[in-house]
Amino acid sequence: MQVRAHTGGLGAPRDAPGAWDEIRLHEAHGSTALAGNPLSRREVAELLSNGRAVGDHLLADYLQVAGYATAAGWVYAHTHGPADAGGSEPVSLADVRQLHRLALRPAWDVDGARDVALDAVPGTVRARDVRPFAGWLRTPSFTTIEQRLRDWLDHTNAAPSSTGELIDHVAVTHARFEQLHPFVDGNGRVGRLLVNLVLVRNGHAPVTVAARDRARYARALHRADTGDHSGLAELFARSILDNTSRIEADAQGAPTTLVGLTELERPGSSRIALRNAAQRGRLRAVRGDDGHWRSCPAWVDDYLADRYVRGPVHRA
């Protein structure tokens, strides 16, 4: 899959607030759901948009989502848009600790403070060994964490400039962070936030991993343990493409109401053909939480015009 390279047109949060709010909603719901949070997407939307805790859940569940959304907003504030100069900033240990603190502290204050161990406090690197997950590589001893984190930061900050190489790079860095497991809790959430910090500081849209992709994401992480990061990179690339389309549409004043591909069928371009084009990244489209693709007439026109220019593919 090819992802469009950032050419200076990606709208920063101040330029496309609607799209970034939508992405924050997707990310907060998806990432906390992967961590076991029970809130539905509708309940997360009510919490983030209206400050209402609807549903019958524990207070800590709502605070976990709110904390993650705050951390995601902190990440988005570092986006390098078209007017920004200076390129990517390095990720620091302070950034790692800050994201862990922002994401976990609200829920920990009401639910986790019973653990009086110092390394249980959000923002603190673990000072104990943790059990390996079933089928995963063993996590390293806590005695090596500080040095391994420094090594991880050195690798993370050696990010390449090309889009394809950068996506492969963040897939590797994400897998290595999860293998490192530097905190007692919250490593998955913080690891996904760090992927997005690297991406937005390099002028790219963030990644959102939907709850429906839990099994695919877990398989990709397992494969990464064996050195095969392709599944993780593909998952990230698809999400970056979706979110880039959202941001560009909002920033450029394109129609914000996207419709199903059935409503966009044309003579010679069926819903199936449009879906295939969307999956290959040739048609600008966004896949919703329900798994269905949505686009708009202007984007279909652009795709058909490009297809006409390219002409039919002849195979030898």
Listed in sequence order, the residues at least 6 apart from 4 whose beta carbon sits closer than 8 Å to its beta carbon are: 163, 241, 244, 281
49-89 per-position pLDDT tens digit: 999 999 999 999 999 999 999 999 999 999 976 555 455 67
SS3 54: coil
Q: Residue 263: pLDDT band by 50, 70, 90 thresholds?
A: confident
Mean pLDDT along residues 204-225: 94
The pTM for the full model equals: 0.82
- Among 30-34, 107-111, 252-256, name the one with the lowest average pLDDT: 252-256
| Token couple for 218 | 């877990």
Q: What is the pLDDT of residues 144-160, one digit of tens each?
A: 999 999 999 999 999 99
Q: Which amino acid is at 28?
A: A
SS3 per-residue string spanning 73-131: HHHHCCCCCCCCCCCCCCCCHHHHHHHHHHHHHHHHHHHHCCCCCHHHCCCCCCCCCCC
Contact predicate 197/95, CB 8 Å: yes
| Strand arrangement, sheet containing 286-287 | 259-260, 293-295, 286-287
Structure tokens belonging to residue 162: 């090309």
Residue positions counted in the chain: 316
Q: Which of 13, 7, 51 is nearest to 196 (CA)?
A: 13
pLDDT at residue 254 above 70? no
Q: What is the pLDDT of residue 8?
A: 43
- pLDDT for 313 equals 38
